Amino acid sequence: MSVKSLSKMSVKYPKVKSDNKQRVYIVFYINGKRYRLFNGRKINSNLYPNSHPVGKRFEVAQLLAAEVFKFITSGLSLQEPLKVINKSDLECFKLALDAKLQGEYSDKYKSMLRFVYDSFTSKLSNENIASNDVKSYLNHYALGVSYNTIKRHLSVLINEARNIGMNSNPMEGIKAKKTKAKLHKPYNDIRLILDEIKLFNNNLYLCCIMTYGCLLRPHREIRELKWSDFSDDLGYIHLSGNRNKSGKNRIVPVPTYVRDILVKGQPHHNIFTDTVRPLNEDYFKTLWSRFKRVSKLLEQNQTLYSFRHSGAIEIFKRTGSITKLWDIHL
């Protein structure tokens, strides 16, 4: 396409947008055809916005938009052969890990991504990543749950690497293993089991009664709660998307029987430790294991999550509404 032909049409400045995965991209039109670029490979640019931390991506994308505009107004075409600045699969994979580690994710999630990256790359014989490399790596995990967990985290890194510039998709055609769902058997008499837990440990009691009454997940959502997450009257809990599994902002009501046992502390203090530091990640898991050994009421397949299931059943009994239950349970 010549400069003269470009002058006859309106070329608007490219726009920077983002998707629901916080990836940024450039959008522009030429002759009515819509183009979307996640990086600068097609214009011989070394800009890869999504290889940067989330907070930096928009700024780098704006630089890319400027380079794209300069490129298309100079008379060059995206369809013409270009000398592409190539990165090896392994380089893209490393940039993908760096990008994810800079994101607003839990330490546990980042640690798992780092583990998958280190264990996977240690088995590669060269800088290209092939489907057979992925299959060989995943086959080390015989159990379905472990296999699927590793596969899920590996997919995250490879998808990010493809956004950065990796051309192949070595995950294509690799399916998850079928696994049997773990049963969290609900409690028949919630008051009796909560009374037994209260005698055992106050922190575990508060965790269980909030899991039941607020339908929050115990091991992160409840464990990390701060007093600033509550409304002034302790009637509601506000959790941002990066603090819960669904990734959405949540506002959940706090029942009276939970509010009655709460003693509000400093805004940025954890509700269990009364300091800025939360309990360690395995605190409630370890405590529950100890309680199981001494409990006279627990039945097989009853777990911490059984309180959440029991609470959900109770809400459905009272409201008869799947919609209301779904809104709170997310």
List all residues 6 or more positions away from 260 whose beta carbon is below 8 Å from its beta carbon: none
**Would you mind telling me the total number of residues written for the chain in this entry?**
330
Which CA distances in Å does 20 have to 17, 24, 93, 246? 10, 10, 21, 13
List all residues 6 or more positions away from 297 whose beta carbon is below 8 Å from its beta carbon: 192, 193, 196
Asked if the model's pLDDT at residue 329 lies above 50, the reply is: no
Higher pLDDT, 177 or 204: 204
Amino acid in position 33: K
Residues 196-209 have a mean pLDDT of 96
Instruction: Please tell me the distance from the alpha carbon of residue 212 to that of residue 310, in angstroms, as a whole number.
Output: 7
Tens of pLDDT, residues 154-188: 999 998 888 777 888 999 888 888 766 666 788 98
Instruction: Please tell me the distance from the alpha carbon of residue 274 to that of residue 15, in angstroms, as a whole number.
Output: 47
Tens of pLDDT, residues 110-143: 999 999 999 999 989 888 899 999 999 999 888 8
CB neighbourhood size of 9 (10 A): 11
Q: Does residue 289 sit in helix, strand or coil?
A: helix
Residue 109 confidence class, pLDDT cut points 50, 70, 90: confident
CB neighbourhood size of 193 (10 A): 21
Asked if the model's pLDDT at residue 108 lies above 90, the reply is: no
Instruction: Please tell me the distance from the alpha carbon of residue 284 to that of residue 47, in angstroms, as a whole number.
Output: 45
- Strand-pairing partners, residue 29, are 34
pTM for the model: 0.53
The 3-class secondary structure across 173-187, one letter per residue, is: CCCCCCCCCCCCCCC
Question: Which range, of 43-47, 96-100, 203-207, 221-225, averages the lowest pLDDT?
Answer: 43-47
Amino acid in position 243: R
Q: Does residue 37 sit in helix, strand or coil?
A: strand
Which CA distances in Å does 316 have to 211, 320, 321, 322, 329? 16, 5, 6, 7, 11
List all residues 6 or more positions away from 231 whose beta carbon is below 8 Å from its beta carbon: 237, 238
Q: Which of 321, 320, 291, 318 is nearest to 306 (CA)?
A: 291
Q: What is the DSSP letter of 219?
A: I
Residues 237-263 have a mean pLDDT of 84
The pLDDT assigned to 326 comes to: 46
